[in-house]
Structure 1
Amino acid sequence: MTKGKPLPVILQFTIPLVIGNIFQQLYNMADTIIVGRCVGAGALAAVGSTGTIMFLATGFAQGITAGFSILTAQRYGAGDEKGVKRSVANGMILAVIAAVILTLVCVAIMNPLLHLMNTPSDIFQDAYTYIMGISVGLTANIFYNLFSSYLRAVGNSQIPLFFLIFSACLNVGLDLLFIIRGGMGVAGAAWATNLSQAISAVLCAGYIWVKVPSLKPEREHWKIHGSDTRNQLAAGIPMAFQFAITASGTMIMQSAINLFGSVAVAAYTAAAKLQSLVIQGMIAMGQTMATYGGQNYGCGDVKRIKAGVKAALLAEFVYSVTVALLMCALLRPCLGLFFTGDVDISAMMPWAETYCYMTAMFFLPLCTIFIFRNIMQGCGYGFLPMMGGVSELIARLIVSMAAMKLLSYPLACFADPAAWIAAAVFTGVSYLFVIKKIGRELKEKTT
């Protein structure tokens, strides 16, 4: 990613990520759709009520593993072959430690957390069953994300896509097997996700071992290296906390949504799934910019970093307007996918429309967050992006608390746009500061 015109290079790398992210969302949606149609609207609301908690756990895993791979991308851009292998081994050891800690913490806090979030009593047990299943399987999620991040760090976004598509198809098959044939209910959806991710992680690791020798550590690399650990934790922990901070804000927002009952929760869940699907292009662009920033920072090309950011912003502005219109147009037919014919869709539409229409108007600031945040993280600056997450949290907290106080569903839905606006302003200003600092640092190195 250090050669060629930035826009074509960025788009070529991003498109497989978009497809992969969409497939990942589709197999998350498959859980929801199959549960909603085969178990019932209450079960769908139960799964949906845990969505923000699931985002907290899996987002933390995704953030920390992405952070571990930034050092790999930087060393790959600098042509340091031994350093690349050493960073891979060190990151895998750290990932094992992170998996154990994260699993134990999630299992311990889930019951009180669901109570704290005002989870309706009629869906509480199903919600607890589902999220505990996801928590137990976090190791599979961590290692799939880690191996995928390593491949993307060296410019390979196609192979993670292949394994993700395979995993998505497998997840749907296992959902049908466990939920319909096995009668496992929401637990079946959780274990279908865990098993499909575990198989995908094993296949991804096997591909690296056989086909990507540049990422295959030697025997002497398999130990904790102090400098690598400091660098990887310095990148990984802020990225993980970035997800955790964002998830904490969405959990507060979910607590406000939960006050309006299981029908509102079910409608909001379906609408939020559709929104998550259409914004995957923004997320993929962010993933691309982390790798782009890491490689170009590694080779000391600040002008190319700036050019890449401008190209990414242009592409994302066009994308944001397009998907906002698409989401609003597809809301009613998509809502019908989640429920059987005995559910009154017309009763759910007002709840779903309020959320979709309100958030669609603010996709432009949302898309800038992913670009600015990830380019800074890719260059090794993790603190300011994390503080951008704090600004999101504060905005969501203020609006959600006001919504709970006033019992206003539209105000609860506005918590997302408020957070996006706050983070967009903060990360945009932070990027201008960081890029100037990088320019000065690289100039000093060459003089």
Structure 2
Amino acid sequence: MNIVKKFLGPVDMTEGTPWKKIATFAVPMLLGNIAQQLYNTVDSIIVGKYMGDNALAAVGSAGPIVNLLIVLYVGISMGAGIMASQYFGAKNREELSKTIGNCVVLTAIAVLFIMIVASLVTRPLLELLNTPEAIIDGCHSYLMILFLGSAGLAYYNILSGLLRGLGDSISALLYLLVSTIINIALDIYFVAILNMGIEGVAYATVIAQTVSALLCLRKLIRMKNYFDIKLSYLRLSKQHSFDIIRLGLPSGVTQAILSTAMIIVQSLTNSYGEMFIAANVIVMRVDGFAMLPNFSFGTALTTYTGQNVGAKLYDRVEKGSKQGTIMAVSTSAVITSIILLFGRYLMGIFTDTPELVDLSIRMMSILAIGYLAMAVTQSLSGAMRGAGDTMTPMWISILTTVVIRVPLAYGLAYFTRTSELPNGRQESVFISLLCSWLIGAIVTFLVYRKGKWKEKGIKDERESTLRAKFER
């Protein structure tokens, strides 16, 4: 029983061998991300097999809009995780308790806001993107169900972010596995048996996410040895809310920028027709798995760095960042190789159309080398965020996405136009993405080496503020 509690509780990453601590945290994160990716993947497989390629395109076209409208959840989750890791590393029970209470209240406000905004802008956004008439109604229905039921998504992201900030990545993994099984079972039941169509897929996702959120909440309530959950903490504190938003906002803005860029490029994607839209969906589903080690090690390094900065063990930060990045690149190389070797089989899971499989494989091969670059970007960005520097990764994302990716995509499409290809070559969409990844890795590495991120740290800022007040 003690062994189980050890694995299902917070992990102190301020002592022990850095790479072992990072790996112990990252592996459950990797498995959890695989489970989370199964949400969208199973949805796509079931929709593609039972409802056809147009329905698959409808679900896929919803992705960029979902990502755009949940930026508040992303921001709160990132800010919560950074603050939790730093206060846990500093062994500051009071501040950790206040942080968690503020996160719960901020999330409720964010959910209400998203419900209202989504109901007003979803249809106009789909029309603005020139979404084909054949898929726009299904796409709209799918999105509205997801947004109106987004409380589960919001609280799972924020509460699991808190758990990971405390070093507990295994509990979040177990709860996600449970909800994934529920999601798969409900997908099959709603779509294959009840014939509920795209709406059934959305309902299955909402129910599964709500279950995972409730399980995370139950776990946090039981962690009384590390913080307190009282009604007095469940109210907004100006300082804590500001810190959460200050640290999380750049990540939210980054998500918004990436999503906006995806929406702009989605308009180009839509111009190539339903077949290319469906191929893009398939590539992005497989891409999700290729990205898993990058996001997993990036999150692990955020927690690792946050705890060690909180404990003022700065020498461990650089050592851990180097080791974590090497592990991320190595893992990404293995997963990408597997995807390329078994690409035809993987693409064939989503559709029975040979032309669609061929098109998807061709586009996926363009991105392959970029996943190694993203391993570097995500790992070093994670370390900078954990130290409290969330602005630098945001500016790098703006550079690579807005300044490079979007103009390059449309530029390549424009200059490759022919009488047979009036909208240009389809490869433009993916070549531009690859270029942005490669440049992003180079810029992130150079900025990390410069070391400005070492000057950050919420704990140091709070101590300086208190000291200044005392001196006055």
TM-score category, normalised to shorter length: over 0.9
Contact 1:300 1:442 (C-alpha < 8 Å) held by counterparts:
no
Structure 1 regions of 5+ residues with no counterpart? none
Give the residue type in structure 2 aligned to 1:421: L
Q: Could you say which residue in structure 1 is the equivalent of 2:409?
A: 400
| In structure 2, C-alpha distance between the alignment counterparts of 1:144 and 1:63, rounded to whole Å | 13
Q: Could you say which residue in structure 2 is the equivalent of 1:92?
A: 104
| In structure 1, C-alpha distance between the alignment counterparts of 2:109 and 2:379, rounded to whole Å | 30
Q: Could you say which residue in structure 1 is the equivalent of 2:433?
A: 416
Q: Could you say which residue in structure 2 is the equivalent of 1:319?
A: 331
Q: Are 2:237 and 1:219 aligned? A: no
Instruction: Quote how far apart the aligned CAs of 1:439 are.
Output: 9.0
Q: Are 2:366 and 1:358 aligned? A: yes
Q: Are 2:255 and 1:231 aligned? A: no
Q: Could you say which residue in structure 1 is the equivalent of 2:66?
A: 54
Give the residue type in structure 1 aligned to 2:81: S
Within the candidate set 350, 353, 357, 1:344 is matched to 353
Aligned positions of 1:21-420 closer than 5 A: 21-58=33-70, 60-339=72-351, 343-345=352-354, 347-394=355-402, 395-405=404-414, 406=417, 407-420=424-437
Instruction: Quote how far apart the aligned CAs of 1:133 are.
Output: 1.7
Secondary structure in structure 2 of the residue aligned to 1:141: helix
Secondary structure in structure 1 of the residue aligned to 2:266: helix
Instruction: Quote how far apart the aligned CAs of 1:429 are.
Output: 2.7
Give the residue type in structure 2 aligned to 1:412: V
Instruction: Quote how far apart the aligned CAs of 1:306 are.
Output: 0.3
Residue-by-residue CA offset, 1:174-193 (whole Å, 9 max, x unaligned): 11121122221111111110
> What's the Cα RMSD here?
2.2
Instruction: Quote how far apart the aligned CAs of 1:307 are.
Output: 0.5
| In structure 1, C-alpha distance between the alignment counterparts of 2:226 and 2:114, rounded to whole Å | 29
Instruction: Quote how far apart the aligned CAs of 1:211 are.
Output: 4.1
Distance 1:330 1:55, change over 3 A: farther
| In structure 2, C-alpha distance between the alignment counterparts of 1:357 and 1:435, rounded to whole Å | 36
Distance 1:235 1:18, change over 3 A: same
Which has a greater percent of helix?
1
- TM-score, normalised relative to structure 1: 0.94
Q: Are 2:10 and 1:10 aligned? A: no
Q: Could you say which residue in structure 1 is the equivalent of 2:4?
A: none
Residue-by-residue CA offset, 1:152-171 (whole Å, 9 max, x unaligned): 11111111100000000000
| In structure 1, C-alpha distance between the alignment counterparts of 2:162 and 2:456, rounded to whole Å | 27
Give the residue type in structure 1 aligned to 2:384: M
| In structure 1, C-alpha distance between the alignment counterparts of 2:50 and 2:457, rounded to whole Å | 59
Instruction: Quote how far apart the aligned CAs of 1:443 are.
Output: 11
Give the residue type in structure 1 aligned to 2:408: V
Residue-by-residue CA offset, 1:41-80 (whole Å, 9 max, x unaligned): 1101111122222233345523431222311211110010
Secondary structure in structure 2 of the residue aligned to 1:31: helix
Contact 1:208 1:215 (C-alpha < 8 Å) held by counterparts:
no
Secondary structure in structure 2 of the residue aligned to 1:380: coil
Secondary structure in structure 2 of the residue aligned to 1:118: coil
Give the residue type in structure 2 aligned to 1:401: Y
Secondary structure in structure 2 of the residue aligned to 1:214: coil
Q: Could you say which residue in structure 1 is the equivalent of 2:450?
A: 433
Instruction: Quote how far apart the aligned CAs of 1:240 are.
Output: 1.0
392-401 or 147-156, which deviates more: 392-401
Give the residue type in structure 2 aligned to 1:75: Y
- TM-score, normalised relative to structure 2: 0.89
- How many residue pairs are counted as aligned between the two chains? 442
Give the residue type in structure 2 aligned to 1:425: I
